[in-house]
A and B are shown apart, each in its own frame.
Chain A
Amino acid sequence: MIPEYYEFCCPVKIISGKQALANLPYEMGILHARRALVVADKGVVGAGLLKRVERVFEGSGAEIAAVFDETPPDSSDRVANRVAKVFADLRCDCFVAVGGGSVLDTVKGANMVVSEGTDDLLKLQGAECLRNAPKPFIAVPTTAGTGSEVTMAAVIHNEERHIKMAFTSYHLYPHVAILDPAMTLTAPPKITAATGMDALTHAIEAYYCLQKNPVSDSFALAAIRLVMANLTTCVTDSHNDDARLAMANAALLAGISFSNSMVGVVHALAHACGGVCRVPHGVANAILLPWGMESNIAKVGPIIAELGPVLGADTSGNVEQRAYSAVGAVRALAERLKVVCGLPTTLHEAGVTEDALDAVARTATNDGAVMFNPEEVDFDAALAILKKAF
């Protein structure tokens, strides 16, 4: 069914393929940039991925003005402010983010600070409220999950209040996303599994949440097919670059989808688990996804049932049975990943203590994602899901 009204936007140039990274300096030229601030983290440096980036600049005319490799696992407002200061102090003209969601979101935060001419990211909180065009920004994801390379959202940790802040704006899109399987080959199995489940969560929530539209639906379905066909292979055969490229594309497609249809209770709870208990985002999503889907069956059972065929679920029975089968297929994938790489399937296994559940539920109810969830998510509803997932 066509919604009464919808908007869709994806202005990101996508470059996907083996050796795609080699085009990075050329793309900088297209953006009239030549001095890059490369933002990464210690993991990227340790895996030798930064060297790959440095090599492609050789003889290109463009240069790396500086490397910032101190991005923490959860990007924070203070780190984003520091990156912005480095960018301004060294007169850089382009951000190149090499890393996972934390690195990409840090650059989005820094780009906001630079472009809006402020010194503190906290002054720019809000949804769809940025005014100035961003600086050139090229994203090179090294994990296949967040889809941040094609989204208008950034999730950044507030160091003072210990909450995850969501920023959304059409000015947060990178200009270019480069998907090169060589950049994701080094991700360890458990991180590959968690980030892959993050991508699956994006696609599934995008498909049934309130801002869904026919264009975002098509991206979501394509993403789910790729995840179901390639995630387990990526985890068990980490150097399979065909599967890696497929998963990178799955994450990107899911990112385009959810950036235009938003996500719901699963993400609200996962953000809160991250903020309160430091559970990695992909791990929290993997645990909470089946419970979040189940909690929405009463409202959008027929839509969830539509996902059965692409999830490889049993498609017999009435609509409600088919919806539960779709949830079962997600649960079965999570169980397979637990067997092959130890991905947790309960919050308890992920290190959450029962006494933290109230705080997680309370935090989740203030997450912007609950607005787009089909079912009402108040404190009791959030807590009920958490208890089931515990």
Chain B
Amino acid sequence: MQALSVGYRVKRLVVRMVLLALGTAFEQVSKRVRELGDEIARWEDGRTFAVGVLPDGPTIALRKEGSRIRYLGEGDHGAPLRILFKNLEAALPLLLGRAGSHVAFARHSAVVQGNVAEAAEANRAMVIVQQYLFPEFILRKILKRRPTPTGRQRWIKIQILAGLFPAMALTYKR
């Protein structure tokens, strides 16, 4: 077994934490934001997808339950749709808000296992969640279309960000 360097372990920990934040944010945003509700309204109940890193994680899984998205925890939970980054280096730009998902795909950073149309839908949902996670100066750089949030959307974003760390503490054990 190859020994892993401290640097590699730190990167993996960072990716793991950011994925936890993403999963938790998915739950929070789907509770409060109508755009995400509209986006997932056409998804069949129980649709599950995973986001992670090859070859063996970290990975998280999410599932549509009713009108919301539920974070299932670490692992792919047998999701039929998996969006997997080829390695940690490939995952970091997207997860840390240094590049948009379109740039990640243009750079061949990720593979899709499963229905490509459903991957496009999951990606759109992820872009909506990103808009409630990252500050506007980052969103202006990583989104194709410059965001123009309303006052209400800004207020919801503040609420989501304020509650994110306590929520992560609760979802951490899943």
Contact = CB atoms under 8 A, between A and B. Distances in A.
Contacts of A165: 115-117
A366 B111 contact: no
Interface stretch (B102-110, B129-137, B158-166): B102-110
B117 A163 contact: yes
Contacts of A371: 101-102, 105-106, 120, 123
Interface stretch (A66-74, A87-95, A120-128): A120-128
Contacts of B101: 371
Looking at chain A, what size class is its interface with the partner chain? 20 to 34
Contact of A372 (B106, B115, B121, B143): B106
Contacts of B120: 365-368, 370-371
A376 B116 contact: no
Given A125-B116, A127-B119, A365-B124, 11 more contacts: A7-B108, A126-B114, A126-B116, A127-B116, A166-B116, A167-B116, A210-B102, A210-B103, A371-B106, A372-B102, A372-B105
B105 A366 contact: no
B141 interface: no
B152 interface: no
Nearest to B104: A371
B145 A368 contact: no
Contact of A125 (B106, B107, B114): B114
With a 10 A CB-CB cut-off, give which of A4, A262, A374 has the most chain B CB atoms: A4
A7 B117 CA distance: 23
Interface string A145-183: 000000000000000000101110000000000000000
Interface of A: 4-7, 125-129, 163, 165-167, 210-211, 262, 299, 365-368, 370-372, 374-376
Contacts of A374: 144
Contacts of A366: 117-118, 120-121
B115 to A, nearest CB: 5
26 contacts: A4-B107, A5-B107, A6-B107, A7-B108, A126-B111, A126-B112, A126-B113, A126-B116, A126-B119, A127-B111, A128-B108, A128-B111, A129-B111, A129-B113, A165-B116, A167-B116, A210-B103, A299-B144, A366-B117, A366-B118, A366-B121, A367-B117, A371-B105, A371-B120, A371-B123, A375-B145
A7 B105 CA distance: 12
Contacts of A365: 120, 124
Contact of A210 (B106, B112, B115, B117): B106
Interface residues of B, number: 23
A375 B144 contact: yes
Given A126-B111, A374-B144, A375-B144, A368 B116 contact: yes
Contacts of B103: 210
Interface of B: 101-103, 105-108, 111-121, 123-124, 143-145
A125 B113 CA distance: 7
A interface secondary structure, majority: loop
Nearest to B116: A368
B107 to A, nearest CB: 5
Contacts of A211: 106
A116 B101 CA distance: 29
A109 to B, nearest CB: 14
Nearest to A370: B120
Nearest to B121: A366
Nearest to A167: B116
Contacts of A167: 116
A299 B145 CA distance: 10
Contacts of A370: 120
B156 to A, nearest CB: 20
B81 to A, nearest CB: 9
Nearest to B112: A127
A111 B121 CA distance: 28
A376 B128 CA distance: 13
A352 B118 CA distance: 25
Contacts of B115: 125-126, 165
With a 10 A CB-CB cut-off, give which of B106, B121, B145 has the most chain A CB atoms: B106
A126 B111 CA distance: 8
Contacts of B112: 126-129
A373 to B, nearest CB: 8
A210 B102 CA distance: 8
A368 B144 contact: no
Contacts of A166: 116
